[in-house]
Amino acid sequence: MKRLFLLVCMLGLSLTTAASEINIVPKPLRVEPAEGSFTVTSQTPVVAGQDKELLRVGRLFAGMVEPVVGRNLPVKKSTDDAAIVLSVDGSLGEEAYLLSVTPEGIAVQGGSPKGVLYGLQSLRQLVVDGKGVVPAVKITDKPFFAYRGAMLDVVRHFMPVEDVKAFIDIVAMHKLNRFHWHLTDDQGWRIDIRKYPDLARVGSVRKETLFGHLRTSSEYDGRPYGGYYTQSEIREVVAYAAERYVEVIPEIEMPGHALGALTPYPWLGCRGENYEVWTRWGISSDVFCAGKETTFEFIENVLAEVIDLFPSKYIHIGGDECPKARWKECPYCQQRMKENGLQNEEQLQSYFMQRVEKWLHGHGREIIGWDEILQGGISKTATVMSWRGSKGGIAAAKAGNKAIMAPNTHCYLDYNQTSEPRYEPLANGKFLPVRMVYALDPYDQLTEAERAFILGVQANLWTEYIPDFFHAKHMLLPRLAALSEVGWAYDRKDFEDFRRRMAHFRRTYDVAGYNYATYFFDGKDE
């Protein structure tokens, strides 16, 4: 009896040891360790059958592990050798996958090729962590939230196409499925619109840029700054993202944050003259005129080209931080309010947003807006992105509107990462460590019925103080991993377990060549 007890204890210890070798981020739903391992070498084939999509996914994976095995793995339709076999199982959810590793080979099944790629992202981590040696295991996994996003602001500082693609690779690595691309603002217009060529030619350039922090500096660098994406570049990025099953959601800001458009086309504003692409950060009082029909004609023409470039279900139309001073003084806006029985300028903004939403609905699209769109009332079909804390998303869900949680309190990755910002690069100034990102509860204060309206979560990277993509990666990583676990594994979060797994996941960052902040790993972020 004593020997049997010892045997059971030894078996339990063996399984615990094996389980500790499975260090995947975000945390899988179920992990069943087994005995043995399989070694992935440069000769290990990836087998995808006749499915062209799986063959393409297999080639993506081969590129991911090339730094570990020494060259791209061969991707084949069939083989008799021990291999990594890919397949689709329609009984699984679209984003679900099964990963089975035995000493004889590896099988990755997904509910779709997208699910297969998620399984391969997990396998990638195991290959990297074991330097090719993958412990035997069966992993059953699926995401908790359907919407898992990350936003990149390319207005304050422009990111070339190759950097945008690298951002998408990081998004896909973390099993996120939405890339929110912030393309227009007061500091520049970054998308070519052929009907209005001066948007890119003139609106993309500011004469200089604030040097230092907005709250403490009045110095400027004296150098013109610009950049925009051609329509062919936009299509290239959208296609690149689609290959990684990431949907690109463009944001065209309105009715505020509009100087990138008002500068080349001053008739779009209430004053109608003397606009300039902003050289500093913050909120300009000059916005789109809500009283002129020509404003809506312009917006519809712009959006017609936008929806031709972006096949996404959603179009983000901003709606945040729109001062109403110009509207109060504008005879066109006041007349619009009178004609439509609007009581105040908040209702005028609601009129503006609902009119744009109606046009987009007529073209088969839906809108997302920042939580200010709740002011003055919104349609039941509008989706709210909550950024001023979670209160906007809570209010939206309670009112029966879909919501995405992206509160600045947990999701603004331009904030400082430590409580000692003097040791960090210049940043926003607020403090957001990994632990706080991980602590986000998208369901906070919501009933079971109200929770159904929460689509998911999103991390936001504003770039006022992020001049290039090297700096962007330092701000994104590893905090994006914490957000990805909230979105993928909300029902199984455990911060200390996450911390342990991240010590292994950082090796995937290393192999990919990503510079990342080390404060969290060094215990210096709190």
Residue spans per domain, the chain: 20-141, 147-522
pLDDT digit string, tens, across residues 21-33 = 799 999 999 999 9
d(CA 259, CA 156): 13
**Domain 20-141 indexed as CATH 3.40.50.300:** no
Pairing of strands 188-189, 184-185: antiparallel
Confirm if 503 and 200 have CB atoms less than 8 A apart.
no
The yes-or-no verdict on residue 188 having pLDDT over 70 is: yes
Select which of 95, 153, 169, 185 is catalytic: 185
pLDDT band at 525 (very low <50, low <70, confident <90, very high): confident
Where is pLDDT greater, at 21 or 334? Answer: 334
Q: Are strands 105-110 and 84-88 parallel, antiparallel or unpaired?
A: parallel
Secondary element (H or E) of residue 110 = strand 105-110
C-alpha Rg value of the chain to the nearest Å: 25
Looking at every residue in the chain, the average pLDDT score rounds to 95
- Summarised one tens digit per residue, pLDDT across range 142-154 is 999 999 999 999 9
Please name which of 464, 498, 466, 496 lies closest in space to residue 480, comparing C-alpha atoms. Answer: 498
- Contacting residues for 496 by C-beta, under 8 A, at least 6 apart: none
At 84-123, the pLDDT tens digits run: 999 999 999 999 999 999 999 999 999 999 999 999 999 9
**If you ran DSSP here, which 8-state letter would residue 85 be given?**
E
Mean pLDDT of 194-214: 97
Element (H, E) at 231: helix 231-243
Q: Return the pLDDT at 82.
A: 87
Distances (CA, A) of 470 to 226, 473, 475, 517: 19, 5, 9, 11
Summarize the confidence of residues 468-495 as an average pLDDT.
98
Q: Summarize the confidence of residues 188-197 as an average pLDDT.
A: 98
Is omega for the bond preceding 478 within 30 degrees of 0, making it cis? yes
Percentage of the chain exceeding pLDDT 70: 96
pLDDT at position 167 is 98
Residue 17: its pLDDT value, please?
A: 39
Residues 252 and 184 sit within 8 Å (Cβ to Cβ): yes
**pLDDT given at position 383:** 98
Name residues whose C-beta falls within 8 Å of residue 383's C-beta, 6 or more positions apart in sequence: 314, 366, 367, 368, 369, 401, 402, 403, 404, 455
Find, among 365, 366, 370, the residue nearest to 349 by Cα.
370
Query: What would the pLDDT profile of 7-58 be if each residue is shown by its tens digit?
Result: 444 444 433 334 447 999 999 999 999 999 999 999 999 999 999 999 999 9
Give the per-residue pLDDT at 526.
81
Catalytic site includes residue 185:
yes
Nearest alpha carbon to residue 459 among 171, 252, 188, 160? 171
- The pTM of the whole model exceeds 0.85: yes
DSSP 225: B
Query: How far is the C-alpha of 50 from the C-alpha of 86, rounded, in Å?
Result: 11
Q: Which whole-number Å values give the CA distances from 122 to 25, 106, 242, 444, 448, in the listed order?
A: 8, 12, 19, 29, 31
The verdict on whether 81 is a catalytic residue reads no
Percent of the chain past pLDDT 90, that is, above it, reads: 93
Write the DSSP string, 404-419.
EE--HHHHBTTSBSSS
20-141 and 147-522 in the same fold: no
In sequence order, what are the beta bridge partners of 315? 367
Bridge partners, 100 (sequence order)? 107, 138
Sheet holding 105-110, edge to edge: 30-39, 133-141, 97-102, 105-110, 84-88, 46-47, 75-76
Q: How far is CA 403 from the centre of its chain?
A: 15
Which one of the listed residues 51, 89, 300, 321 is annotated catalytic? 321
Phi and psi, residue 282, nearest 5° = 115, -155
256, 321 Cβ separation under 8 angstroms: yes
Q: Does residue 497 carry a catalytic annotation?
A: no
pLDDT at 13: 40
Residue in 174, 180, 182, 257 annotated catalytic: 257
Residues 6+ apart with CB under 8 A from 120: 57, 58, 60, 61, 64, 86, 108
Is 147-522 CATH 3.30.43.10?
no
- pLDDT bucket at 423, cuts 50 / 70 / 90: confident
Task: Quote the CA–CA distance of 431 and 525 in Å, as a whole number.
Answer: 9
> Which 8-state DSSP code applies to residue 245?
T
